[in-house]
Amino acid sequence: MKRSAALFVVALCGLGRTAEAESYVDRVNVETTRLYVKDERGRAVVTVTNNSSETLDIDVSCTFFMSEAKVGMGSNSVARLPPRRSDTIEVMDRLTQRLDAVRCTVSNAQK
């Protein structure tokens, strides 16, 4: 019985960390500043802004489109972005496709 209670407490602690990490996603802003093709791959230049009071590790995911059709995806990350600071990263499409639009979002932000 004690082992079950201990596992329950460990599970609750893990859930607390997950909820804490998820809350930082809302405090990060992602803005696409440029979309271009180089070496036949789509690339997006993205400005990531940490609006929280914590230093964060931030993951950004981008979906590339041709008209309204999804044609590819890519991701990149910013490590240890200080509070209220911005950084610029490049996200490259994993596929070689024609494209004309991109949508980028924060997939993870945690201390």
Would you write out the chain's pLDDT as a tens digit for each of its 111 residues? 444 444 344 444 444 444 444 469 999 999 999 999 999 899 999 999 999 999 999 999 999 999 999 999 999 999 999 999 999 999 999 987 789 999 999 999 999
Distance CA 45, CA 81 (A): 17
pLDDT of residue 97: 79
Q: What is the pTM of this model?
A: 0.78
pLDDT at site 5: 44
Class of the domain covering 2-110: mainly beta
Place of tokens 């407490």: 9
Amino acid at 45: V
DSSP string, 41-102: EEEEEEEEEE-SSS-EEEEEEEEEEETTEEEEEEEEEEEEEPTTEEEEEEEE-SS----SEE
Q: Show the tokens assigned to 65.
A: 């489109």
Domain ranges for the chain, please list them. Answer: 2-110
